[in-house]
């Protein structure tokens, strides 16, 4: 079976739409989808049967930052609007999907990586996208879960778990180097998480190498830069074309 692995990366994860568009245009099909954080959102939409064109149209009309309302009780942001968005566009459970899906999350108590493959779908995707410090953990089946990108930001291993023998991985993990010094405590905290993800992703790639690795050029694009949608999606297209050309796929 052929699988996809979509990394987390906030707005940068919209590049998955462009990469997926190129893959499908090249005649590729995927039976397994694995995603983390924004990669879980895009991956779930694809597993539900949404085409790249439909996802791009949805992304264009969605006020992404507007889905995150301030909430001193829950965290920096509220999960309610994002949860409603997921419930509107996804099946109620994993069983309603057209492709096999796994999303990653982290158990806040045990500290263990969790692969979510069944049960209620919107809460699973929401848990995978619950960025530490910005969104509160999601209580699901007796566990408190948050962003899977903390431990596994490019879930090639999760795709393998579902039986994928050939994995196409799209990695939008933030770059190791940045253009300027982060300003403010929140920006520094985000930078610390980014660096942790960079190092962990590098290590995990040596352990779980995909057959095709796609790394869109997104230097200077932040996780909150949803206004740069068209640029981000095009970066995904270009990187996918280059990766397929490298392996003789086009």
Token pair listed for 39: 């990669």
154, 158, 163, 166: CA torsion to nearest 10? 10
Q: What are phi and psi of 215, to 5 degrees?
A: -125, 90
Of 31, 59, 67, 2, nearest to 236 (Cα)? 59
Whole-number Cα distances in Å, 162 to 1, 3, 145: 9, 9, 21
Rounded CA-CA distance 207/200 in Å is 11
Respond yes or no: is residue 225 known to be catalytic: no
Rounded CA-CA distance 158/161 in Å is 5
Q: Which one of 7, 128, 147, 157 is the catalytic residue?
A: 147
Rounded CA-CA distance 205/203 in Å is 5
Respond yes or no: is residue 147 known to be catalytic: yes
Q: Which one of 37, 78, 123, 128 is the catalytic residue?
A: 37
Active-site residue numbers? 37, 147
């Amino acid at each position: 079976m052929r699988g996809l692995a979509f990394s987390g990366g906030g707005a940068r994860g919209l590049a998955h739409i462009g990469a997926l568009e190129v893959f499908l245009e090249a005649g590729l099909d995927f039976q397994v989808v694995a995603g983390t954080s924004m990669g879980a959102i895009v991956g779930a939409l694809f597993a539900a049967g949404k085409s790249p064109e439909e996802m791009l149209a949805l992304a264009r009309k969605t006020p992404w930052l507007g889905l995150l309302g301030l909430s001193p009780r829950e965290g920096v942001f509220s999960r309610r609007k994002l949860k409603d968005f997921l419930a509107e566009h996804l099946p109620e459970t994993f069983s309603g999907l057209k492709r096999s899906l796994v999303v990653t999350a982290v158990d806040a108590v045990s500290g263990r990586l969790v692969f979510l493959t069944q049960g209620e779908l919107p809460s699973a995707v929401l848990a995978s996208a619950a960025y530490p410090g910005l969104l509160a953990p999601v209580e699901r089946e007796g566990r408190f879960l948050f962003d899977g990108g903390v431990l596994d930001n490019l879930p090639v291993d999760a795709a393998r778990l579902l039986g994928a023998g050939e994995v196409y991985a799209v990695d939008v993990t933030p770059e190791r180097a940045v253009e300027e010094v982060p300003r403010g405590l929140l920006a520094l905290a985000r930078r610390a998480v980014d660096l942790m993800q960079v190092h962990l992703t590098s290590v995990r790639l040596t352990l779980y190498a995909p057959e095709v690795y796609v790394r869109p050029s997104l230097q200077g694009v932040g996780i909150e830069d949803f206004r740069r949608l068209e640029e981000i999606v095009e970066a995904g297209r270009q990187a996918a074309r280059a990766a397929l050309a490298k392996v003789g796929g086009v």
